[in-house]
């Protein structure tokens, strides 16, 4: 079965972020359903949030996929989790914008916002979620083909 362009984009982002995470001693996790354990952090988490379609242009539809990319870290070797998570997010951001059209799959990448979240359950954990919008086109009759 053919994959949607949306799924291709999510997988492309994960592939771009995997070597970045590895260099930082982290891993990439897509939409984890359970909390990230100490053993799994630091990590970059990818959560698809929304995919909106704009009015049709001929036989093509312009779409905006919103992904939440979260850098999560815990204190390690006396280094504050905020610092570890920030470095991880900086590297992820740079890697994504180094290939902003994701190999031709999308028309562009735009940063939407970022926030900070100290986990109440673990005083030594920090999560920094950043949201990105990927604009792409598909055919109106087939969401698996870029338009």
pLDDT digits (tens, 9 = 90+) for 11-30: 999 999 999 999 999 999 99
Of 6-15, 20-29, 48-57, 125-134, the least confident: 48-57
Give, in words, the CATH class of 5-32+39-146.
alpha beta
Secondary structure class of 81 (helix, strand, coil): helix
Extents of the domains making up the chain = 5-32+39-146
- Give the separation between CA 9 and CA 39, rounded to whole angstroms: 28
Residue 116: the pLDDT is 66
Residue 65: the pLDDT is 97
Tell me: pLDDT of 118 over 60. Answer: no
| Percent of the chain with pLDDT strictly greater than 90 | 63
Q: How confident is the model at residue 34 (pLDDT cuts 50, 70, 90)?
A: confident
- Over residues 66-75, the mean pLDDT reads 93
- Give the separation between CA 123 and CA 81, rounded to whole angstroms: 10
String of DSSP letters for 18-70 = HHHHHHTT-EEEES-SSPPPGGG-SEEEEEEEEEEEEEEETTEEEEEEEEEEE
């Amino acid at each position: 079965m053919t994959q949607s362009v949306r799924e291709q984009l999510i997988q492309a982002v994960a592939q771009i972020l995997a070597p970045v995470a590895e260099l930082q001693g982290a891993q990439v996790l897509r939409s984890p359903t359970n909390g990230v354990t100490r053993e799994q952090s630091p990590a970059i988490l990818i959560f698809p949030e929304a995919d909106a379609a704009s009015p049709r242009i001929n036989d093509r539809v312009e779409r905006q996929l919103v992904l939440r990319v979260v850098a999560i870290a815990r204190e390690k070797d006396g280094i504050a989790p905020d610092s570890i998570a920030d470095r991880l997010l900086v590297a992820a951001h740079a890697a994504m914008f180094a290939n902003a059209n994701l190999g031709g799959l999308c028309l562009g990448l735009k940063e939407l916002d970022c926030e900070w979240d100290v986990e109440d359950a673990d005083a030594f954990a920090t999560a920094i979620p950043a949201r990105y919008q990927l604009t792409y086109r598909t055919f109106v009759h087939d969401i698996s083909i870029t338009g």
